[in-house]
Amino acid sequence: MTLDDYRTRYNQYHRDHDVQLLHLSHAIIPTLDDHEFADGAWRDGATEHKPEYGPWSERKANAFRAREEWLPIRRPDPNNPERVFRSVPLGDLADLFLIDTRTRRDEPVPEPAMSDPNRTALGPEQKQWLLDSIDSSNARWRLLANPSVMGRTWSPDLPEDVKPGLVKVKLLAADGKGPDYDQWDGYPAEREAVLDHIADNGIDNLVVLSGDVHVSLVLDLHHNEDAPVAAEFVTPSLTSQNLDDKMKWPRHSPEMEAIVTRAEEFLKDWRWADLDSHGYVVIDVTPERVTAEYWHVDEVLEPTPKEQLASTWAVEHGSRRATRVS
């Protein structure tokens, strides 16, 4: 809650030997999630921020300050320590657009307010920047670094036996009767506006890279009920709990496999899912295609060199959808 608290937490994580090796070996180009601040963060508060904790504006400023102290970030706007959104050119091969769907958004709320056409996940300034930046890019690929799942994880036709598992991994609302309004599902009007813009302007080289929900997903983002306008790759968690952890099931149990099979049947955007495994995604970009390799590990409670290539998907330039690679 305080500046010292946030500094201590960053210190704690950076004492991990593998995190140190990560920073030693790779450039880190981060966006953010709500846990850099408080769970359920939004523009003027958070689900886990109470009035007795003091002003939200002070807590948010302290969190941003500690983040800047501990992560190698050059400010996109030297005069604004709370601006995250920016673009990173990767030569003429790709432009990487990083967005913030936490600290500028309206408060996450359920229906009917959720569908208010004026609600925003990005905020007016960031939304206009994103659309303008996508339009003006001359790179071979446009890559969107997106903190929360953009594809649809809810359908009113979902069978009842599927819902408890999807609730556990926050792909549905807690009561199972609607979408998880903490994701892009909770801002449907603005999501449609972004997808409309992509479709209407003939943009056929956008790939969305997402996280947050602790599970592996490959999705096609559909414009209304039409053909896909972009592919989305959602990375699993490194260590945070996913479905088998929460349900105390073994990995790839028959129960989990049944949930995935049924979800893929009723959720039009879903191409592939693994709700159990921890790991990461390697994104390989060439002029011809963007390839996503899903690497999963057997164990997170102790160091292990063992990992498996769980699934590989590719988006051919101009195709707008993901295809499984054998």
Task: Note the pLDDT of residue 251.
Answer: 87
> Is residue 197's pLDDT more than 80?
yes
> Is residue 275's pLDDT more than 80?
yes
Q: Give the span between the Cα atoms of 84 and 80, in whole angstroms.
A: 9
3-state secondary structure (DSSP) of residue 255: helix
Question: DSSP label at 170?
Answer: T
> Is residue 224's pLDDT more than 80?
no
Please, are residues 147 and 31 in contact by the beta-carbon 8 Å criterion? Answer: yes
Task: Note the pLDDT of residue 300.
Answer: 87
Q: What is the mean pLDDT of residues 37-48?
A: 96
Whether the CA torsion 317, 320, 322, 326 is positive or negative: it is negative
pLDDT digits (tens, 9 = 90+) for 94-112: 999 999 999 999 999 999 9
Looking at the domain that runs over 85-324, which CATH code has it been given? 3.60.21.70
Burial of 66 (0-12, 13-18, 19+ CB in 10 A): buried
Residue 101, sorted as left (phi over 0), alpha (psi -120 to 50) or beta, turns out to be alpha
Neighbours of 177 (CB within 10 A): 13
Q: What is the DSSP string of 125-163?
A: HHHHHHHHHHHH--SSEEEEEESS--S----TT--TTTH
pLDDT digits (tens, 9 = 90+) for 283-298: 999 999 999 999 999 8
Task: Note the pLDDT of residue 193.
Answer: 96
* Mean pLDDT of the residues in the chain: 95
Q: What is the mean pLDDT of residues 159-167?
A: 93
Q: What band does 79 get if pLDDT is binned at 50, 70 and 90?
A: very high
Burial of 199 (0-12, 13-18, 19+ CB in 10 A): buried
Domain chopping of the chain, boundaries: 1-82, 85-324
Q: What band does 303 get if pLDDT is binned at 50, 70 and 90?
A: confident
Instruction: Give pTM, 2 decimals.
Output: 0.96
Q: What is the mean pLDDT of residues 249-267?
A: 92
Task: Note the pLDDT of residue 326.
Answer: 86
Q: What is the mean pLDDT of residues 25-34?
A: 93
Task: Note the pLDDT of residue 73.
Answer: 87
Q: Give the span between the Cα atoms of 3 and 63, in whole angstroms.
A: 7
Q: Give the span between the Cα atoms of 115 and 178, in whole angstroms.
A: 12
> Is residue 180's pLDDT more than 90?
yes
